[in-house]
Structure formats: structure tokens, C-alpha cells
Structure 1
């Protein structure tokens, strides 16, 4: 409500009794009256407060009311304050005309008409309050507009994120369908082949050597399926903050050597060679299963993108850290792709179709980060890539 807006009034007169009389005339509970006995004192108050109006005596020692009014009109903070002049001088001096020239909105002669003074002050106070209320409304509208713009921007950002999430979901489902179908197709073909042999009573198809080969093929396909499922479960654990880390003390060099032995068939199938540099024990406390998962992911990528080039793996300690480096000399990774390969479902595109869900590096980075370590990549197109894992000892 307008009555809740407190109005400040300034009265300037060199005579204290005039100030007291005028204050008593215009003062009310919803107004604060400030008094000044000189122009200098008035200027000081004008710089400190926002006034609804100013009542100035014309004849004052030093700077008179007209000069004070001119200063007020030339100052940004005070130029819009309504000024009412008061003078005891006769009308024949034409002070009223000079007052209006100085920017006054009214001119009163002494002795003052009490009702006229009250009425004029009420009018200017009411105008001030209406102006103040309108300004507050404009500010509120502007604030509302800014909030609406911010909300709109947030909604647009959320929409983009949702669209991106839908695209990622669709891409992910497409990749999952393809990746799961590959080992399943192998198992289905193997099963149909065996059924055909059984239907024909072809016992020669089930010799011991052939059975070993069948079991090995089945095992590879099943392991491939399990790996896909575990990757998806790990992403779910990471999102819910339930990725568990169970550290034990072990030798990282021994672990990496064991991983390479387990990868012998994949290395042979990729027609690649792997050299291990792990001469010294590197003993620390980490989650052995999870670190093996990281090394396996890096080695899988090196075989996948290495273009049959030699791969080197190095295990060493430096500056209080355990380090594992996996380097290939394959297709390499562009700077742009280096920024996104640690995100979910991201894969470096190659000319040939590439297997995998695009989760390996994302999961690896989360595991390494959970250990308080870092995983980085150095690469140039056509020159291969070096992945370095650093783990606190």
C-alpha cells in the first residue's frame, strides 16, 4: 500500500524557529522531516537521503535558496526532487518568477497559509509515493522477466539434455542389441550345428578334440556376454554411487603380467605383439579386481585400435605413485575426441566397425578416480595413443 512508503521531507531555513514551525506543520507518522540551517548542510543531507520534496527559504546567508536549487538541478541524484520556495520578501521583488526559473514547482509567501502548505505537501508526498510504488512495480516486473528468462533458459537446457539423453538411450540400445547379438548368434549357430550332427547320428563331430574346441568357442561367447552385462551393471553402480572399492596389498607388476597372459588369445587374434616392461615390483594397496578391469579395458582398446601395430605396456613407480602405461601405434585419437572418450557410450570411430559399448574408458576413469588417481591420454592422429594410469601408493 502507498501509506507504507515512508516519505522524507527536507526543509531549509537559516532561522531555527522557522524550521520548528514548518516541521510542526507538515510532520506526520508516515513522514520524516530533515532540517538544515544552511545550503551546505542541506547539500550534505541531499547526498545521504532520497527526499520526496524540499522546501527552501530564499533568503539565507552564504548560498541562497535559488543557488541551492540550481545545484540540485545540476546533480543527477537530486535533479528530480520537487522544490517549493518560501520567502518573506514582497511580491514586487518578482522572487516567484526567479524561483520558477530555478526549477521550483511552487512558491509560497510568508506568512504561510497553513491549509495551503499542508495541501501542497500532501500532493507532493502522494506523487512521490505513487512514483515510488510504480518504480517498485517496474522493478518487480523486471525481476519477474529476468526470472522467466532464466527459467526459459533452464527449460531449454533441460530439453536439450533430455533430447541428448533420448539420443544416447537410442544409440545405447542399438549398440547393446548389436553387441549382444554377436555372441548370441555364435552360440545359436554352434547349437544348431550340434543339433544337426545329433540328428544325423554323426558321432565323429563329437570327438574329444572337437568337443574341446566347441567348449572354448562357447566360453569365449559367454565371457563376451558377461563382460557386456558387467559393464552395464558398473555404469548403474557408478550412477548410484555404489561402485565398491575393496583395497588389498598386491604387486601391480604381477597383476599386469597375469592380465597379459589371459589376453594371449585376443593378442593372437588381433595379429599384434605386446611387450611388457615391469622389471621392479610395484606394491601398493588397491582393489585388485577393479585395477585388473582398468588394465583389461586399456589393453582391449589398444588391440582394437592398434591396427596390428606393436603394443608396449610399462609398470613402474615414480614420485610416490604407481604408474601403468599402455601404448599402441595405431590410428591415434584427435584432440577433439580426447575430450570425450572418457564419457559414456563414446567410441573413437574407425573405418571398420568397432565392437564394444563405449563404456570401458568411462568405467576405468571412475575406478581410478575412486582410488584417488588419474588416467590420461596422449595421442596424435596416425601415431597411436599412450594411456597412463597413476595410482597413489
Structure 2
């Protein structure tokens, strides 16, 4: 590994012959030699490259070797580069002592000892390569540490998500068991009561009028069960991308009127009067079953949270778009809750004793999105809520299945 680390060496001498001679001595595999004939030229190279060693001639016109060394030691990028001085001056000038004062690691006298030069350069090259190898290892360790920290963070997030998923599953199962039990209990009690009447021979309990009431009540409980089961199935379809949309020509006003007529008894039971403003001729290409599901979900929410106040339903067209608005005058929704009510298993008002799995608005938004539409909410606490569905009137080019947003 060490031999493959590229090493740069700098020779500074104002005599070309000395540069060539020294280059020939220290050149080797994976070594790149740079020449500079002056201190100024050397500074330029020092700022561009990272050198393992700088060999400086002491006596040069202009900036001499000692002055260049002082500048190198005062610069952050070059202060740690080993410096070897070379000089032909006599020992009586005491250049070696001055060289060491400026931070040199060695001082060589001319004529140069070939073996000594080669050996010393090899030592500094090896030291540089070892430092670089350690640096690479440290960087690799640091990268590994960062990756491990990132992985640990991901594992923590996954653990929290798993805890949340388990908690949501438990809450969901609790809600499902409660919601399914309510209509089932009604049916069980009705069945037991009828069985008791039959055992006692009380046939007066089965007059046509009473049978009609019983049948209506049974039908309502059964429809509640069907809706709960369909909501659960729809969530599964959305998650697997199998909630397909089959558009056909639909008169939106007629569809909404049909839903309102079907739910008139439930509205009356909830104590909500109904205000209608249904425009004629709002015709587009949608999946009638799914759009009916959207209207039912919004109407059901309005009844649940409408505080026995009037519920207003409006249908109209504007700028190639169809609008369905369902407004109640009930408890309203806080700004904080508005950000999450279209999520799975969320209730419009967690403190309200309303029934439901918390799936209606989630499914509604997914259906509307599948029709390239949008759903908006305008609400204030204590001032009621208005849900507005906006659908394109133009025929969709395709009906691809829609998958739930993750």
C-alpha cells in the first residue's frame, strides 16, 4: 500500500545543472519531482501541491533558501513540509546552524554524498507515505464511524416506527373490535328478543308494522357492518395499489341527491336538518361508486360532529371543475388537528365520542386524488367545518390504480 502512494518532491536551485543532477539522484517509482529556479517560483508550486520534502539551495539571487524557509514555516499549508538545505559554502560560514534555526531537518554540503542523499530522501519519502497511509486509515475509520452512526440512527428510527406501527395496530384492533361489536350486539339482542317472543308464543310482536321496523333496524346494522368491512378492505387495496377507478359519465347532482335521500332517516336521527343547493347538469367522468363513497363519508362526518345543527350540501360547477361542499355547524377542528385528519386511524376530534375507524377521510382523500381532484378543509373550533371536494369535469385519459401515500 505504501509504495502506491504518490509522493511529490520539490528541488529549488538557481543552477539548472544542479536541478538535473539532484533530480537524477532522488527520482524513483511513484515519485514526482518538481523544479524551481527561484524562491518566488518555489512559493507558487508550494501553494499548488502537497510535497513530502523540499530540498532548498541556500545561495540564490533574490530570495535565498533561508528566507524561503521562513516564509514556508509561516504559512499554514507549508509549515510542516520537511526542509533539507544544500550549500557549497564552507563550514566556517555556519550555514548549518542557521539552517536548523529556520526549521530544516537536515543540511547537506556540496559536493553531495550520493548514498547519503538517496538514503535521506528515502527516509522522508517513507515517512510521508506512512503519514498518508495513517491519514487514509483515519479517514476510513471516520467514514466507517459516520456510516455506523447513520445506521444506528436508521435503526433507532426503524425501532420507533415499529413501536408506532405496533401501537397503531393495537389501537386499530381495539377500535375495530369495538366498532364491529356495536352493530353485532344490536343484531344479537334483536335476535334474542324475537326468539323469546316466539318461545312465549307472543305473535303480536310480529305484526307487519313491527316487522317493518325490525327489518329497517336490521338493515341499518348490517349496512354499518358492511361499511366497516369495506373501509378495512379499501385501506388494504390502497396500500397494494389495487384501488382501481373506473370512470363513466356521472351526473354529480343526481348522485348526491340519491345519497341525501338514502340518509334522510339517519340525518333525522342525528338531529340534523338538511340544506340542499344542488346545481343541475354537473356532469363529468368519474367512478360513481367511489364518488358516492366520498359523499357518504363527508355526510357521515357532518352528522357525527354536527352537534345536532343544520348540515348544508352544495353541488356546483366552476371553471371546468365540479365542487361538492359539505358544511356542518358543529364542534369544528383545531389547526393542529387539521394537519393530520386525512391520515389513517385519525378521528376528526379525538375527544368526541363519535364512532368510526378513523379511515373515512383517509379513504376519501385517496379516492379524490385518484380522480386527479383535491379536497379542502375550512374549519374553526366551535364554528363548524366545511369539506370541499374539487373534481375535474374533463374525461380522464386513463384509470390507473391508486396506491396509498406512504
TM-score (norm 2): 0.95
For 2:350 and 2:42, locate their aligned partners in 1 and report how far apart those are by CA, in whole Å: 80
Q: 1:66 maps to which residue?
A: 66
What does residue range 115-264 of structure 1 map to in structure 2 within 5 Å? 115-264=115-264
Count of residue pairs brought into register by the alignment: 393
2:86 matched to 1:81? no
Q: CA deviation at 1:351?
A: 5.1
Q: Deviations over 1:166-210 (max 9, x none)?
A: 110000000000000001001111111111111122221222122
Distance 1:221 1:112 in 2: 106
* CA distance 1:352–1:22, change in 2 (3 Å): closer
Give the drift of 1:79: 1.1
1:319 correspondence with 2:319: yes
In structure 2, distance between residues paired with 1:128 and 1:361: 67
Displacement of 1:163 in angstroms is 0.6
Classify the secondary structure of the residue corresponding to 1:376. Answer: strand
Give distance in 1, aligned partners of 2:381 and 2:352.
16
2:396 alignment partner in structure 1: none
In the alignment, the residues of structure 2 paired with residue 193 and residue 330 of structure 1 have an alpha-carbon distance, to the nearest angstrom, of: 36
> SS state of the match for residue 147, structure 2?
helix
* Post-superposition CA distance 1:327-348 (Å, at most 9, x none): 1110000001001100000003
Distance apart, 1:97 and its partner CA:
1.5
Matched, 1:270 2:263: no
How far apart, in 2, do the equivalents of 1:130 and 1:106 lie? Answer: 20
1:54-75 CA-partner distances (Å, limit 9, x unpaired): 1011111111111111121122
The farther-off stretch of 278-287 and 328-337 is: 278-287
Residue number in structure 2 paired with 1:106: 106
SS state at 1:11 partner:
strand
RMSD across aligned C-alpha pairs, in angstroms?
1.1
**Aligned counterparts of 1:274 and 1:113: Cα–Cα separation in 2:** 108
Per the alignment, in what secondary structure is the counterpart of residue 333 of structure 1? Answer: coil
Task: Provide TM-score, normalisation by structure 1.
Answer: 0.98
Rounded to whole Å, the distance in 1 between the matches of 2:141 and 2:319 is 59
Which consecutive unaligned segments of at least 5 residues does structure 2 have? 394-406
In structure 1, what is the Cα distance between the partners aligned to 2:254 and 2:319? 21
> Which residues of structure 1 form unaligned runs of 5+?
none
Moved more, 313-322 or 228-237: 313-322
Matched, 1:388 2:388: yes
Higher relative contact order, structure no. (Cα contacts within 8 Å, ≥ 6 residues apart): 2
Secondary structure of the corresponding residue to residue 317 of structure 2:
strand
Distance 1:280 1:62 in 2: 97
| Deviation at residue 278 of structure 1 after TM alignment | 1.5
Q: CA 1:352–1:127 in structure 2 vs 1: closer, same or farther (change >3 Å)?
A: closer
Counterpart Cα distance in 1 of 2:248 and 2:77: 72
